[in-house]
Amino acid sequence: MNNIPTYFEALRWASLFIRKNQGDENAPELILMDTMEWSRTELIMHYREKLFPEQWEKFQTAVKRVAKGEPVQYVTNKATFFGREFYVDKRVLIPRVETEELVETILSKTKRSRQRLRVLDIGTGSGDIAITLKLERPEWLVTAVDISKDALTVAQRNAESHEAIVDFRLGSLFEPVQGERFDLIISNPPYIADNEKHEMDQSVIDFEPHQALFADDHGLFWYKRIADQLDQYLVEHGELGCEIGYRQGTDLKKYFLEKKYIDQAEVIKDLSQHDRILWVKKK
């Protein structure tokens, strides 16, 4: 296409190009809406207008990235989580719907509490969980840790854009919070086993940070480390909520209940009826 196209023609070209390369066919609209800062309705209203040359060039570059398998969220640097927009890039995982269900579970299980809970988010990544909880429960004191300095940079950027006060700290698991105790601990740690790679989208393997995806011991490594140290950091009757892999519920429930300080452990299913959340209560 040598001439500068209209928005409609540009979308048609992009759809054909991406379909030929087996990319995300929803990406072109998202890219144009992001470029122009338009809603879908506004985009439709401008269908017959021509792009400016620099817009057309930028759009083609973005479409070619998606056609090579790169997630559109990394191309636009935007992902939606719990109705809010978060900045993302290759330093962090893209927030997922399953993790929204973890947040919904947390809010549901604590809705009767008017306490100023002390909350710890382990492996915060983009900060999506910690920031969302702070925005939904402004009275909570939220601390978030991550082993990746790059991830914390992204999380801090998101906290600032949402004007959410979260205490971000660098380090692995409980290292940054030695001597402190929390009412509620949350984690969405790496939980994919190496032998599950064949079940994953290639774009996830190629573009998202492996450190935030994969874990040893059939994906259970980080959960067990949390369980082994939890007694020191969770107050009496405190609770732990974790996102888990759909094959891990039975083994994790058993492992946590073997700890003398654990009172209850339940596995909660997601909307697809897969095991997705482990909820633990301390004696």
Same-domain status, 23 and 98: no
User: What is the average pLDDT score of the chain?
Assistant: 92
Structure tokens at 127: 């900060």
Q: Write out the two tokens for 37.
A: 């800062």
* Same domain assignment for residues 60 and 103: no
Mean pLDDT of 47-72: 92
171 within some domain: yes
The rounded radius of gyration (Å) of the Cα atoms in the chain is: 21
Q: Are residues 95 and 70 in the same domain?
A: no
pLDDT average, residue stretch 139-152: 97
Hey, what amino acid is at 244?
I
What gap in Å lies between CA 218 and CA 250, rounded to an integer?
13
Q: Which two tokens stand for residue 235?
A: 């107050």
Binding residues for substrate: 188-191
Binding residues are 123-127, 146, 188-191
Claim to verify: residue 126 and residue 57 sit in the same structural domain = no
Does a structural domain hold residue 83?
no
**Residue 41 and residue 165 in one domain:** no
Query: Mean of the pLDDT values across residues 191-217?
Result: 80
Q: How much of the chain exceeds pLDDT 90, in percent? A: 77
Give Cβ neighbours of residue 109 (< 8 Å, ≥ 6 apart).
Answer: 239, 241, 279
**34 touches 40 (CB < 8 A):** no
Angle (nearest 5°) at CA 283 between 264 and 118: 100
Q: Which domain holds residue 67?
A: 7-76
Instruction: Report d(CA 248, CA 277) in Å as an integer.
Output: 10
Q: What is the token pair recorded at 179?
A: 């001597």
Residue 220's pLDDT is: 92
In which residue are the tokens 């439709």 written?
44
The answer to whether position 84 is within a domain reads: no
Of 31, 46, 76, the domain-final residue: 76
Domain identity same for 96 and 204: yes
For residues 204-227, give the mean pLDDT: 87
pLDDT band at 157 (very low <50, low <70, confident <90, very high): very high
**Residues 137, 272: one domain?**
yes
- Helix, strand, coil content of the chain in percent (nearest 5): 45, 20, 35
Residues 160 and 132 in one domain: yes
Binding-site members for S-adenosyl-L-methionine are: 123-127, 146, 188
The beta-strand segments (E) located in 127-224 are 141-146, 167-170, 182-187
- In this structure, are 72 and 94 located in the same domain? no
